[in-house]
Amino acid sequence: MPEPIRETLLSDSILSQVALSYSPMIDRQRVVTATRLTVFQLVPGAPLDAAALLAEVATVWPEDGGRVSLNVLSETLLADLLRAQPSANVMIELPAFIACDAAQSAAIIALHERGNTLLIKGRPLREVPREVLPCFTHSIIDLSDDRRLQAPAPAAGVTRSIGQIQSGVSRLDDMEASFQRGAVAVLGWPMDEVLTSPSGKGRNSASDLQVILELIQRVDQAEPIEKLDETLRRDPTLAFKLLRYINSPGFGLSVEVSSFHHAIMMLGYSRLKRWLALLLATASKDINLRPVMFAAVRRGMLMEELVRPLGDEEMRNELFICGVFSLLDRMFGQPFADLLGSLPVPARVYQALAEGAGPYAPYCALAQAVEGDALDPIREASDHLMIGPAEVNRALLSSLAQAARLEAG
């Protein structure tokens, strides 16, 4: 059998044996510094190929790319992963009981010497071997298990010997409190409280987004290029950002687009509307909304990838917009029924977002499920759409790779 075919079959095999979910790692400046990829084993005890998993990870996070933290929820796969050769940008999360296991010490030390960042997850019930402890740069403590919740914040100038990353964060106030207690980063989606942020930072002023909204409406009506140019000139920053997106590697154009007029000639109204939708979902200047924008881009790309094999371009475009717009209620602080009244969206998109119904609602459910840390919701959403795990995983990895290329541009 030729080597490329064998590699493809091996890759498909690992993607059909696991379920994947992801979440951002966010530092104190609210910058997403890495992505956490959680790996669930679908059939307990089934053999899994660590090298095949790393090959898939490398398609999204190559050695010279961004960082990924692997949260592998299979003890045997994790043990094999310790003896594999992940790229230096791959961080490995190790449960405390494995870190305490002397039989794993040599593999842990070898990974550390290769330059991989190792994170100890949870609280050790016994002492970590002395020679292994320096291999860990940070500990990951879930919010529900943080003993410091009732303790005072560390005094100014006091540093801990090992940095703490707080996982399980889903609210802005929990994120703020975690940083006040000394966390260097949080893992999760601090989006639940954006609508009711006490400072009002979760709400965009209408003036910030007025130009994008107007452009979407004008593009939807296929107005002359000159009219669109006039609108865009009111916001030079937006014009720059739009051209940066269009000329990014993720957009895939073979020639450089030098003006908005040129962009319309090259793209046409339909594709331009897609990217205006993307701009609308990423235009906020509120740093606390960065996780929301991070998710919006990936939701749109994931939902589009899930139906790419069907060959229905209209459905792909609508699902892209549906995913990108699926968090606008949090960004604007308005219910979808009110918000979408000023946006020209297809009926199926309105149904999914404003009513939680229609043919696109199950795709929204799956996009949300892969942002979680539980297997059952992913299984239920996939089964509802009758999409197999390999298809879901491949679509997810493809969308993460596309988003990374777009943001790197």
The residue ranges of every structural domain in the chain are: 3-190, 206-408
Above pLDDT 90, what percent of the chain? Answer: 55
| pLDDT on residue 282 | 78
Which one has a higher pLDDT value, 203 or 140? 140
User: pLDDT band at residue 243, thresholds of 50, 70 and 90?
Assistant: confident
Element (H, E) at 239: helix 236-246
Torsion of CA 146, 147, 149, 152, to 10 degrees: -130
With beta carbons less than 8 A apart as the criterion, state whether 89 and 54 touch: no
Which residues touch 34 (CB under 8 Å, ≥6 apart)? 24, 25, 66, 67, 68, 69, 91
Instruction: Give me 373's structure tokens.
Output: 């840390």
pLDDT at 197 over 60: no
Measure Cα distances from 313 to 87, 248, 308, 319, 320 in Å.
36, 22, 8, 10, 11
User: pLDDT band at residue 164, thresholds of 50, 70 and 90?
Assistant: very high
**Nearest by Cα to 394 from 322, 294, 301:** 301
Q: Hey, is 140 helix, strand or coil?
A: strand
| pLDDT on residue 37 | 98
pLDDT at 349 over 90: yes
The lowest-confidence range among 29-43, 102-116, 163-177, 279-293 is: 279-293
User: pLDDT band at residue 10, thresholds of 50, 70 and 90?
Assistant: very low
Could you give phi then psi for residue 405, rounded to 5 degrees?
A: -65, -40
pLDDT at 155 over 50: no
pLDDT at 204 over 60: no
Q: Could you confirm whether domain 206-408 is CATH 1.10.3210.10?
A: yes
CA distance 130 to 387: 47
β-strands 90-95, 68-73 pairing: parallel
pLDDT at 198 over 50: no
**E strand spans, 253-343:** none
| pLDDT on residue 250 | 64
CA distance 253 to 266: 9
- What is the per-residue burial (b if ≥16 Cβ within 10 Å, else e) of 125-137? eeebbeebeebbe
| 375-404 average pLDDT score | 96
| pLDDT on residue 369 | 98
With beta carbons less than 8 A apart as the criterion, state whether 215 and 235 touch: no
Note the pTM of the prediction, 2 decimals. 0.85
pLDDT at 196 over 70: no
| pLDDT on residue 205 | 45
- CATH of the structural domain 3-190, one choice from 3.40.710.10, 3.40.50.2000, 3.20.20.450, 3.30.70.1880: 3.20.20.450
Paired with 169 in beta bridges are 188
β-strands 18-27, 32-41 pairing: antiparallel
Which residues touch 206 (CB under 8 Å, ≥6 apart)? none
pLDDT at 289 over 90: no
3: region left, alpha or beta (phi > 0 left; psi from -120 to 50 alpha): alpha
Q: State the DSSP code for 145.
A: G
| 243-249 average pLDDT score | 74
| pLDDT on residue 7 | 39
| 18-36 average pLDDT score | 96
| pLDDT on residue 148 | 59
With beta carbons less than 8 A apart as the criterion, state whether 392 and 378 touch: yes
Highest mean pLDDT of the ranges 209-213, 238-242, 258-262, 329-333: 329-333
| pLDDT on residue 2 | 39
pLDDT at 159 over 50: no
CA distance 407 to 294: 10
| pLDDT on residue 161 | 66
| pLDDT on residue 251 | 66
